Amino acid sequence: MFENYRVFETTLAGRPLVVETGKVAQFANGSCLIRYGDTAVLCTATASDKPREGVDFFPLSVDYEEKLYAVGKIPGSFYRREGKPSEKAILASRVIDRPIRPLFPKGMRNDVSVVCTVLSVDPDCHPETTAMIGASIAISISDIPWDGPISGVVVGLVDGEYVINPTAEQEAKSEMHVVVASTADLVAMIEAGANEIDNETMFNGIMFGHAANQEIVKFINQITAEIGKPKFTFEASEPTPEMYEAVREFALEKIKHALDNEDKSVRDERLLEVYNEAHERFDPEYPELAAKIDDCLYDLQKTIVRRWLLDEGKRTDGRGLDEIRPLAAEVGLLRRTHGSGLFTRGQTQVLTVVTLGSTRDAQLLDGLDEEDSKRYIHHYNFPSYSVGETRPPRGPGRREIGHGALAERALLPVIPSVEEFPYTIRLVSEVLSSNGSTSQGAICGSTLALMDAGVPIKAPVAGISCGLVTEGDRYVTMVDIQGVEDFFGDMDFKVGGTHKGITAIQVDIKVRGLTPEIIREALEKTYKARCHILDEVILKAIPAPRPELSPYAPKMLTTKIDIDKIREVIGKGGSVIQKIQLECNCKIDIEEDGSVFVSALDIGDAKRALSVIETIAKDPEVGSIYKGKVTRLMNFGAFVEIAPGKEGLVHISKLDVKRANKVEDVVSVGDEVIVKITDIDDQGRINLSRRDALIEVEGLVPDNSVPDAPRRPRQDRRGGHRRR
């Protein structure tokens, strides 16, 4: 039945890697079922027969689809089916997209769709890099033109040793998580999170992963040689040489003049004039090719910017290759928020705002890994006004999600643990103006905002990017790239970190890949630049986290109780915990291990609630003093509740330091009084003394005429009291 069914096998990091083709998804241009350990991913690649009309870009879509049945879960949504992709799925799609996109032919406008569907997950075998390899195989064996293959692995650092594709146990101990993608000879993509790793250790880890990729690339080439289809031809969407030369002769000097200015707004205004003049000149000559005229003008801009950089070391804004744009930082802009920081670098400006919440505010996750919640959250917004456009507001796209995740990853190693700082932390970075590297601006703004909020981060973090222009064996790198250098350059090498080391890397590449020399140079330049930002801007704006939280932030106290006491603190149907929250104006969260988190705007409320919880959770002891509430009056004394569900009797003789003739003369129902436990009988009944508490706490002088209290009357079966 399956005449073309083939199986190819190899090993990767000591685990079997099996590729099956010719059995499933046979209508796709290329497909494979790839298994790594018990992880299984179906990868397909399809392409349209004809180019999409009216587009000036390559319409590639990459989708990494998480199916919760892969880990034996039923989705938690109302409909019990997968909905929109999770953030982790979107990030995995981006990681696969970045290394494969530059390898498609320039000028190709056919729609290409790559879909990686996760069918089964082995926690020790990463489905994301398995999908990347599977996507590479599906495109390679298809008839879609492509200059691949690529391979991808994860590099960990466990006990000082590099590990390829670390297991779940190794991952928990690893000092870094670096995804490295490679072609046959170059590094095609880097995505990293690390615990302040130095440049040399990071570089060697990248090269370690690159070496491992070479074996898988050879494996894919063997598969392609056996079953690969001939590549189809396509109609390239490029201007004719005659049109390009005519537009070049008309617009070259005009575009040079337009680009030669440090202000993006001025450059944009000048370029608009050139575009209008070019269309006025050439539209009559090419009435149906207006888009091609724009392509010519775009290529001219790209040529000019690249020639300036390569031949003259010249940048459009006049800076040196290693010079950072003017910097500014400010904190405490917003008085009612919990923390805020404004970071400006040239014409890029990002405002980050911190909100602190209780542990119940943590984000719940419904994904393929074992993480079910997170307490540190970073969101990034890129409104249209930040680039002077009028696009209506929309929800976050893949770019926004990716940049937010990068900033989140960069700060994560310095965020205090929940034991050190028992809060959920949400950061929102609002891009106010954009002219390159807004994600790195978000990292800097986040450091400012966290310290302004009083979050005790372990060290300040800054981010900066390094660009690249290549021509054959020639290349030039430049630090702190602006938008025009990002658009027309070959690389955006983004690095976040502290003085000590790297916490995050994300590399976008528009060429086949990077040599080791380029990677090492980019790491060195970004280290010097981020240290400059930390020393000269961030630490001068705020040298350390504020010692106190904002008055508008919740105050959090924690304790730990015996797990056997959790039920008593919660009460039947939550009655006890709800009562505490209502009376103390607070929020209470209790974990399964007995950890208790109390948050309130007023620290006094939080302390009061914590005292009540500790009273409930620990057995009363003779000699302990409590603040309780009078619940009942009897002719022989008053009952006082010292904690929800726990009350004792204060005999009339122990109500005051003076003689009391009537209980009503001293206390009323609802009064709050301090009492001391004087006795707990063999039935667990508690005897209290307000008199002893007043003497001990407030130093009142007792009236010696007050007799000692008689023993507690014995109760009859109906709850009444018998006379002796």
Distance CA 129, CA 123 (A): 13
Region 193-222: what's the mean pLDDT?
A: 98
Report which DSSP code applies to 165. Answer: S
Distance CA 89, CA 87 (A): 5
Q: Is 676 exposed, middle or buried (0-12, 13-18, 19+ CB in 10 A)?
A: buried
Q: Encode 401-457 in three state secondary structure.
A: HHHHHHHHHHHHHHCCCCCCCCCEEEEEEEEEECCCCHHHHHHHHHHHHHHHHCCCC
Region 406-429: what's the mean pLDDT?
A: 95
Distance CA 654, CA 666 (A): 11
Give me the pLDDT at residue 53, please: 85
DSSP 538-601: IHHH-SS--SS--TTSPEEEEEE--GGGHHHHH-GGGHHHHHHHHHHT-EEEE-TTSEEEEEES
Cβ distance 587 to 599 under 8 Å? yes
Does 149 sit behind a cis peptide bond, omega within 30 degrees of 0 on the bond before it?
yes
Region 31-58: what's the mean pLDDT?
A: 94
Rg (CA), the chain: 34
- Reference 417, options 151, 595, 635; nearest CA is 595
pLDDT > 90? residue 620: no
pLDDT > 50? residue 719: no
Q: Encode 703-723 in three state secondary structure.
A: CCCCCCCCCCCCECCCCCECC
Region 87-99: what's the mean pLDDT?
A: 96
Give the confidence band of 707 by pLDDT, cuts at 50, 70, 90: low
Region 646-660: what's the mean pLDDT?
A: 90
Give me the pLDDT at residue 504, please: 98
3-class DSSP state of 338 = coil
Report which DSSP code applies to 288. Answer: T
Give me the pLDDT at residue 301, please: 95
Give the confidence band of 701 by pLDDT, cuts at 50, 70, 90: low
Q: What's the distance, Cα to Cα, between the start and end of the chain in Å? A: 98
| Distances 414 to 157, 361, 409, 421, 458 between C-alpha atoms, Å | 18, 20, 10, 12, 5
Q: Encode 119-151 in three state secondary structure.
A: EECECCECHHHHHHHHHHHHHHHCCCCCCCCCE
Tokens of 259: 């680009």
Region of residue 557 (left: phi > 0; alpha: psi -120 to 50; beta: else): beta
Q: pLDDT above 70 covers what percent of the chain? A: 97
Mean pLDDT (the chain) is: 92
Give me the pLDDT at residue 355, please: 97
Region of residue 146 (left: phi > 0; alpha: psi -120 to 50; beta: else): beta
Cβ distance 340 to 333 under 8 Å? yes
DSSP 484-540: HHHHHSSEEEEEEE-SS-EEEEEEEESSS-B-HHHHHHHHHHHHHHHHHHIIIIIHH
Distance CA 416, CA 423 (A): 10
Region 92-98: what's the mean pLDDT?
A: 97
pLDDT > 70? residue 721: no
555-560, strands of its sheet edge to edge: 555-560, 595-600, 587-590
- Reference 256, options 320, 300, 294, 295; nearest CA is 300
**pLDDT tens, position by position, 548-592:** 999 999 999 999 999 998 998 999 899 999 999 998 999 999 998
722 versus 462: the higher-pLDDT residue is 462
Give me the pLDDT at residue 428, please: 97
Give me the pLDDT at residue 720, please: 45
Give me the pLDDT at residue 364, please: 82
Cβ distance 562 to 594 under 8 Å? yes
Cβ distance 634 to 655 under 8 Å? no
Least confident of 10-14, 38-42, 176-180, 618-622: 618-622
Q: Which residue type sits at 590?
A: I
| Residue labelled with tokens 């879960």 | 73
pLDDT > 70? residue 711: no
pLDDT > 70? residue 616: yes
Q: Which residue type sits at 149?
A: P
Q: Which residues contact 670 (CB under 8 A, 6 or more apart)?
A: 629, 630
| Helix runs in 16-126, H state only | 87-100
Strand partners, 433: 349
Distance CA 525, CA 507 (A): 14
Q: 464: how many CB neighbours lie within 10 A of its CB? A: 28
- Reference 655, options 626, 705, 692; nearest CA is 692
pLDDT > 60? residue 717: no
Give me the pLDDT at residue 716, please: 47
Least confident of 69-73, 105-109, 529-533, 715-719: 715-719
Distance CA 131, CA 92 (A): 9
**pLDDT tens, position by position, 101-127:** 999 998 899 999 999 999 999 999 999
Distance CA 37, CA 415 (A): 34
Give me the pLDDT at residue 722, please: 45
Region 586-605: what's the mean pLDDT?
A: 92
3-class DSSP state of 275 = helix
For the chain, domains (ranges, CATH) are: 6-181+196-227 (3.30.230.70), 241-312 (1.10.10), 327-541 (3.30.230.70), 555-617 (3.30.1370.10), 625-698 (2.40.50.140)
Q: Which residue type sits at 517?
A: E
Region 350-368: what's the mean pLDDT?
A: 89
Region of residue 472 (left: phi > 0; alpha: psi -120 to 50; beta: else): left
Phi and psi, residue 513, nearest 5°: 165, -175
Give the confidence band of 209 by pLDDT, cuts at 50, 70, 90: very high
3-class DSSP state of 635 = coil
320 versus 621: the higher-pLDDT residue is 320
Q: Please enumerate, as own/partner, the contacts of 627-630 that have beta carbons within 8 Å and a separation of 24 or more.
A: 627/672, 627/673, 627/674, 627/675, 628/672, 628/673, 628/674, 628/675, 628/688, 629/670, 629/671, 629/672, 629/673, 630/667, 630/668, 630/669, 630/670, 630/671, 630/672, 630/673
Q: Which residue type sits at 431?
A: V
Q: Which residues contact 550 (CB under 8 A, 6 or more apart)?
A: 337, 338, 339, 453, 454
pLDDT > 70? residue 645: yes
pLDDT > 70? residue 713: no
88-99 in b/e form (b: 16+ CB < 10 A) is bbbbbbbbbbbb
pLDDT > 60? residue 723: no
Region 527-546: what's the mean pLDDT?
A: 97
